Amino acid sequence: MARHANPFPRPSVPEVTAASGARLLEGGAIAEEIRTAVAEDVATFTAARGRPPGLRVVIVGKDAPSTVYLERILRGCAKVGIDAGFVELEGEATGTRVTSTVRELNKDGSVDGVIVQMPLPPTIRLRAVIDAIDPAKDIDGIHPLNAGLLRLGYDGFLPATAHAAVEILRRSGIGIEGRDAVVIGRSAVVGMPAAFLLVREDATVTVCHSRTRDLAGHVRRAEIVVVAAGVPGLVTGQMLRPGAVVVDVGINVVDGRIVGDVDFASAREVASAITPVPGGVGPLTNALLLTHLIRAAERQAPVPPSIAQPAHSRGDR
């Protein structure tokens, strides 16, 4: 397996030092670029394999708050020609029912990627469900095998949000190598993978969490701050080092509005670059998920001998 492989070429890296009104790092345009490339890959795959790449999302409980997110994924897939659908289980479904559904999808040759929509009802043992996902179809990188590959610096599937948090920096030409970075949040799906990805990009990384004693002190020293805590307004401009680059992963609803974990108004006065919420990491997350799916599909689906291309013309991603 390739080590330290990145799915996209490394852009040129201008230095970011001055704080004269932050540059907005918007995910929309980058996501559009990615979707255009994915649509081409999907067309090539479909022509070669005689079927489109397939994604299934397992959702437990009709009123799950994640329904909006799910609809967004399905719409994004439809736009680029991916065969996406969901398997809906009733809210009272047992853990065994969820894992057996996942195992059926693992066996289905027309399904290349499987996502289990979180959060699951508290009665279901999360670990058993995660373990049931075939790592080759785990396009959101939650299976321990993929988490381990990331930890070791190998090329597995990355959790899409963490991937987006770092990819938005790379694609915006923000230098990461050698920088002091702070990640706030240590969850298995966002904080920790974002931290490992930053280390992989040669940043020096500190991970903060709810028991961190001097959060402001750590943030003050950081040139790059990635915030994934789920606490609105946790990071303010007063805490930031002038010229810092701020990636706000948080999604919170406050008074009916979606806001991040960063107090945007004060932070943008001090930072040199900042992601808005909404419109920053979010759009990129969904687009990157599509790239993970096409990669899973290309790795799994054998090419029928009648239409097989010479190996050198199929890029192994």
d(CA 58, CA 56): 6
> Could you tell me the smallest distance in angstroms from the CB atom of residue 190 to ligand NAP?
4
Q: Using an 8 Å Cβ cutoff, are 275 and 246 in contact?
A: yes
Phi then psi dihedrals of residue 248, to 5 deg:
-100, 110
Smallest distance, ligand NAP to C-beta of residue 211, A: 5
Output the smallest distance, CB 87 to ligand NAP, in A: 21
**Any alpha helices (H) in 81-206, and if so which ranges?**
95-107, 126-132, 144-152, 160-171, 191-200
Binding positions for ligand NAP, 186-205, rule CB under 6 A: 186-187, 189-191
Residue whose CB is less far from ligand NAP, 38 or 189: 189
Nearer to ligand NAP, 82 or 251 (CB): 251
Rounded Cα gap, residues 126 and 28, in angstroms: 32
252's tokens: 């919170």
Minimum distance from CB of 184 to ligand NAP (Å)? 5
Smallest distance from ligand NAP to CB 140, Å: 10
Per CB under 6 A, contacts with ligand NAP among 273-292 are: 281-282, 285
**Closest approach of Cβ 229 to ligand NAP, in Å?**
4
Shorter beta-carbon distance to ligand NAP: residue 19 or 34: 34
Nearest of 268, 228, 283, 234 to residue 251 by alpha carbon: 228
Minimum gap (Å) between residue 278 Cβ and ligand NAP: 9
Question: Per CB under 6 A, which of residues 89..128 are in contact with ligand NAP?
Answer: none
Site for ligand NAP in 149-178 (CB under 6 A): 161
Token pair 């900042």: residue: 274
Closest CA to 292 of 164, 151, 127: 164
230 forms part of the interface with ligand NAP (CB under 6 A): yes
Among 73, 168, 229, 289, binds ligand NAP (CB under 6 A): 229
Per-residue binder mask for ligand NAP (CB under 6 A), 232-271, x = binder: --x--------------xxxx-------------------
For 261, list phi and psi in degrees, rounded to 5.
-95, -5
Which residues are CB-contacts of 223 (< 8 A; sequence separation ≥ 6)? 179, 180, 181, 241, 243, 244, 245
Total residues contacting ligand NAP (rule CB under 6 A)? 26
Picking from 137, 161, 157, the residue whose alpha carbon sits closest to that of residue 147 is 157
Instruction: By CB under 6 A, name the binding residues for ligand NAP.
Output: 161, 184-187, 189-191, 208-212, 215, 228-231, 234, 249-252, 281-282, 285
